[in-house]
Amino acid sequence: MSENEPRLLDSGEAALVVEFGSTVDPAISDRVLALDDALGADPPEGLRERVPTYRSLMLHYDPLVLDREALAERVRALVAGAVARVGTPTLWTLPCCYDQPHGEDIAQVTERTGLSAEAIVATHAGATYRVYMYGFAPGFAYLGGLPKTLAVPRRASPRPPHPRNAVVIGGGLAAVATVPMPTGWYVIGATPARLYAPEREESFFIGAGDLIRFEPVDCATFDALDAREAAGERVARPEEASR
Amino acid sequence: MTALVIEAAGPGITLQDGGRHGYLRYGITAAGPMDPLMHATANRAAGNPLDATAIEVSTGGLTVTAEGGPLGIAMVSRSFRISLDGAAVPDAVALTLEPGRTLTVRAGASGAWGYLAVQGRIDVTPVLGSTATHTRSGLGGLDGRGLAAGDRLPIAEPRAGEVSPHRLVAPWLDRDPKKIRVVLGPQDDYFAADQIDAFLTGPWTVSPRGDRMACFLDGTPLKHAKGHDIVSDGVAMGAIQVPGNGLPIILMADRQSTGGYPKIATVIGPDLGRLAQAQGGTQLSFRSVTVAEAVAARRAERDALREPVPRDPVVRTDFASDFLLGLNLVGGVTDGRP
């Protein structure tokens, strides 16, 4: 087996993990997403779900329809050919209000980093993030690309549930946390853009591999944009990203 | 409109269909039944699609009545105490619930979940293509929550069922929870060979603090060979993760879609229900099987549900408990009350 060949790991008889590596690395993520695209473009019958993560693609399948070896063969063939992603990722600009009451943990981040509130906002909003994966909760997007000066460890024990669509940092990563949950992350703002809206026709619109920037807005603007989202509009602005 | 009325419901009773599939990549858990085989059996007995919406009944107990017309019901459990207007009926039963009569389900000596399927369609609005309830994220079912007294479930295209109660004969639901089959991996290489053996041999005791999200095991802690943190990857139902304290956690229907602990093994699909039915305190161990063996077990399950579920009439005058116990129809009527 060549070093570049992924490991195929069974998780029971109905899920196959295609593991490209064991670390958080954009190059590994690219390979995961290239295979995800290739399988999505022409899915074998019996393939039920594809779950891209930082370093692996989990394939849930119906083993009474799709044989494990047939799926493994298909994956190996596609990995050999699928070296780049099919499409170009989209760069999304998400409005973000860092002011109170939204940025409720900013003072704690100041304590842990020594950065002023203004510096925290400028640093966070100055970066471009990559959506590595969703996990943990509906629409919870894990974002890589957080500047090192904001790399605070996660809390030892979770804080009470955050409001919906919270913009959070912790453990060296950033995230958008759509559904209120107790969290070990720090809440530094909120976006009116709803990454997850089960009642909307397109419940999700940002894919793994897409890029995100945050644009600071004040509370009045946040409220106005939130009202537009509530009326069914989408306030996140897309543009094609150059890679 | 005909409706099934919830007169009383303990905690943890939810509507579940076959699960919300297609959105795991966005962090949406499938939910769906804890015991997929028993859920499918109840639907089969009710003449519904196998993945139709049914009530998952916890050990908290449930009392229902019919409104607007008679409703055919298939209520399937192992050892739950079920009664119609106070008279005991078998623990897996098909009957017609007439308006004015009351069906009561109570926990019994064994089993953690039962399924109540209605002949017709429980008419709740699907969310993301499914009615499965995931209470942690407030999705599906009735407003994303468990059922409660006063809830009214509208039934579309209702059909009456058996005129008198019939015992459902489903021997494939007689499963011993003491031996659970697993496929090793995906992260069994995080454990030395002696720790894999220790994991399989156990014995492990099912902790009472389990829920729809996870089954916790108590026993001798396992040791990791290369740490207990991994970069998050996908999590299948039945995945057995071993966190830092060395005690295995089996991730069930309401699990998160991804996780960051090594997963030593995965419970095979056909044994998920067997495990889910184990009450707190149950001792169990694991047996490693190949993917091919697991698929064969899955095929046998599917074949069992191809034909209608066999049924025997229960004659009402025969409801003396000694008669029923003699037939082993209502284990738990006179003993084993929790």
pLDDT > 90: what percent of chain B? 86
For residue B332, is pLDDT > 80?
A: no
Helical spans, DSSP H, in chain A = 26-41, 68-81, 106-113, 117-126, 219-230
Write down the pLDDT at residue A4: 75
Write down the pLDDT at residue B129: 96
Distance from CA of B48 to the nearest CA of A (A): 21
A195: Cβ–Cβ under 8 A, 6 or more apart, which residues?
Answer: A139, A141, A165, A176, A178, A204, A205, A206, A236
Tell whether omega for the bond before A26 is within 30 degrees of 0, i.e. cis: no
- pLDDT-derived band at B337 (thresholds 50, 70, 90) equals very low
Contact B121, B156 (CB under 8 A): yes
- State the residue for tokens 């579920």: B309
A23: Cβ–Cβ under 8 A, 6 or more apart, which residues?
Answer: A54, A55, B231
Phi-psi region of B64 (alpha: psi -120 to 50; beta: other; left: phi over 0): beta
Q: Give the mean model confidence (pLDDT) for residues B255-260.
A: 90
Angstrom distance (rounded) from CA B45 to CA B76: 9
User: Could you give phi then psi for residue A24, rounded to 5 degrees?
Assistant: -85, 110
B27 with A50: Cβ contact below 8 A: no
B201: Cβ–Cβ under 8 A, 6 or more apart, which residues?
Answer: B285
Interface probe with B: pick from A7, A8, A9, A11, most Cβ of B within 10 Å: A11
Quick one: CATH architecture of A7-81?
2-Layer Sandwich (3.30)
Task: Give the residues of chain A that fall short of pLDDT 70.
Answer: 1-3, 82-83, 86, 241-243
Q: What is the pLDDT of residues B24-77, one digit of tens each?
A: 999 999 999 999 999 999 999 999 999 999 999 999 999 999 999 999 999 999
Quick one: CATH architecture of B179-301?
Beta Barrel (2.40)
Contact B180, B252 (CB under 8 A): no
Angstrom distance (rounded) from CA B184 to CA B287: 9
pLDDT > 70: what percent of chain B? 93
Q: Give the mean model confidence (pLDDT) for residues B258-280.
A: 95
Average pLDDT, whole number, for chain B? 92
Q: Which of A12, A48, A196 sits opposite B269 (nearest CB)?
A: A12
Write down the pLDDT at residue B333: 42
Write down the pLDDT at residue A242: 62
Interface probe with B: pick from A10, A16, A131, most Cβ of B within 10 Å: A10
Name every residue in B having a CB less than 8 A away from some CB of A.
21-28, 127-128, 136-139, 182-183, 185-187, 230-236, 238-239, 256-259, 263, 266-269, 291, 294-295, 298-299, 302
CATH (one of 1.10.3720.10, 2.40.50.140, 2.40.100.10, 2.60.40.790) for A90-240: 2.40.100.10
Contacts of B236 in chain A (CB under 8 A): 11-12, 14-15, 58, 60
Write down the pLDDT at residue B334: 41
A43: Cβ–Cβ under 8 A, 6 or more apart, which residues?
Answer: none
Q: What is the dihedral angle through the alpha carbons of B245, B251, B255, B258, rounded to the nearest 10 degrees?
A: 70
Q: In chain B, where are the structural domains located?
A: 3-170+309-326, 179-301
- State the residue for tokens 């297609």: B22
Write down the pLDDT at residue A80: 86
Tokens representing residue A145 in the block: 């690309």
Angstrom distance (rounded) from CA A206 to CA A91: 9
Q: In chain A, where are the structural domains located?
A: 7-81, 90-240
Tokens representing residue B2 in the block: 């005909």
B291 with A13: Cβ contact below 8 A: yes
Write down the pLDDT at residue B276: 97
